Structure 1
C-alpha cells in the first residue's frame, strides 16, 4: 500500500467520522440526542477494532511464509470485504440520512 492510498484512506475515515455526529443530530429529536450520540460512539468503538482485526486477518492470510508484506491480492480482498460490509448499511451514511429526512 503506497503513501497516497494511506492518505486517501485516512482522509475518508476522518471525513466520515467528522460529519456523522452532525448528520445524526440533524434527524434526531432533541430529547434523544444523548442516546443517539452514545450509540454512535459505541458503534465506532466496536467497529474500528473489529474492522482492523478482520483486515489484519485477511492480510495475514495473503502473506507467504517468510515474506515481508502480503500479496497485492490481500489488499484487494481486504478492501472489497470492507466495502461489502458497508453496502448493507448505506442508509446510515450521511447522504442516506439526509435523503431520508426530506419530507417536502
Structure 2
C-alpha cells in the first residue's frame, strides 16, 4: 500500500498488472515448484534401497552424477533459448520448455524404476528448464521499458524462489505422510509428488499461452 502511494516507490507495483509481467511471474512460480521438486525428489528416490522395489540403491555421489545431464542440458539450451528469442520472441521457447519439463515429470510419475528412465527424464527436464528459464528473463525484458527491467526481473526471480519454497514444503510433507515406520517414503508418495509438479507446470503452460508476443523493439518504440 505504501509503495503504491509514494512518489518514488522502490518497486512500481503497477507494472505487475502488465500482462507480460504477471503471466511470466505465474510461470516462474510454477517453475520454482518444478525446479526445487526435482532436487528434492530425484536424489531421495535414487538413494532408497533397491529392496524397496522402487528405489535404485545409489550412493550420494552417484545420485549427484544422475543430475549432471540436467545441468549440462541447461548450460547448452539456455543460449539456444536466446537464439530462438531473437527470431521468434520469448513465447515459443518458453512454451517448448514448459512442455518438455512437464513431459519429464509425467515420465517420472509413470516410470521411475530403472536408471535409464530417471536419466531420460532428468535430461529432458534440464533441456526444458534451460529453454524456459532464459525465456522468462527475455519475456520480462521484452515487456517492460528499460527503466523497470531490474525491478521486474528481480520480482520474477522472487516468484521462482517463493514457488520453490512452497513446493519443497508441500512435496516433503507428502513424502513424510506416506512414509513407513522405518521412515522410508512410499512409492505412492513419489508418484503423487511427480504428478503435482506436472500439474503445476500445466498452470505455467496456460500462463505462457497468455504471454504477449511483443518484442523489446516494440516496447521501446512506444516510450
TM-score, structure 2 normalization: 0.37
C-alpha change, 1:8 and 1:49, in structure 2 (3 Å) is: farther
Larger radius of gyration: 2
Change (3 A) 1:11 1:53: farther
Deviation at 1:78, TM superposition (A): 1.1
Which residue of 183, 203, 210 corresponds with 1:96?
Answer: 210
Distance in 1 (alpha carbons) for counterparts of 2:123 and 2:186: 19
Map Cα deviations across residues 57-97 of structure 1 (whole Å, 9 max, x no partner). Answer: 222223322264531x222311222333344454543x532
Unpaired segments of 5 or more residues in structure 1? none
- Using CA pairs under 8 Å that are at least 6 residues apart, name the structure with larger relative contact order, 1 or 2: 2
Size of the aligned set, in residue pairs, is: 99
| Partner Cα distance (1:10, 1:53) in 2 | 22
2:190 corresponds, among 65, 72, 75, to 75
1:16-51 per-residue CA deviation (whole Å, 9 max, x = no partner) reads 222210011112222221221111111122222322
Against the structure 1 CA distance between its residues 20 and 81, is the aligned structure 2 distance closer, same or farther, given a 3 Å change threshold? same
